[in-house]
Amino acid sequence: MIRASITAGVRPTTMILGEDNRKAWSHLDVLAMQAFQIIEDERCGQCGLPRWLCKNDDPRLQVRIKVDSCYAKQELDKFEEERKKGDSGGLAYPEFYTKPDNIPLHEFRALYYEQLAAERAEDEGD
């Protein structure tokens, strides 16, 4: 929310509470922005994770790499790689479609979140 208020150029309390943006910043706006900055300052400049995690040499703390796949980006990269060989021009962008072609895309949203919830429940069981 704070990042969104910065992007929109409005007071944090405008974004969070719907306060009138024409008014001067309140003490709450300043506190919200200070809290946001403290969290930002705690981020590692290399990976974006909290410093207390990625700068911590406690041997009990381990790191594993997980892969977050974006199938649209993969297809786009494949396309751009092919395109380098030949023609140029035009902006390439991903468009999702289904196979067979009559499945409404929104059905995949529910399935995705069900799968994610199941994976999280499984991870918590580890």
Please pick, from the candidates 9, 18, 46, 87, the single residue that binds Zn ion as defined by CB under 5 A. 46
Residue nearest to Zn ion as judged by C-beta position? 44
DSSP 86: S
d(CA 38, CA 29): 14
40 vs 114 by CB, closer to Zn ion = 40
Please pick, from the candidates 28, 54, 75, 76, the single residue that binds Zn ion as defined by CB under 5 A. 54
d(CA 112, CA 106): 10
Site membership for Zn ion, residue 111 (CB under 5 A): no
Yes or no: say if 83 and 91 are a contact pair by the CB < 8 Å rule.
no
Q: How far is the CB of 40 from Zn ion (least distance, A)?
A: 14
Largest pairwise CA distance in the chain: 59
Binding stretches for Zn ion (CB under 5 A) = 44, 46-47, 54
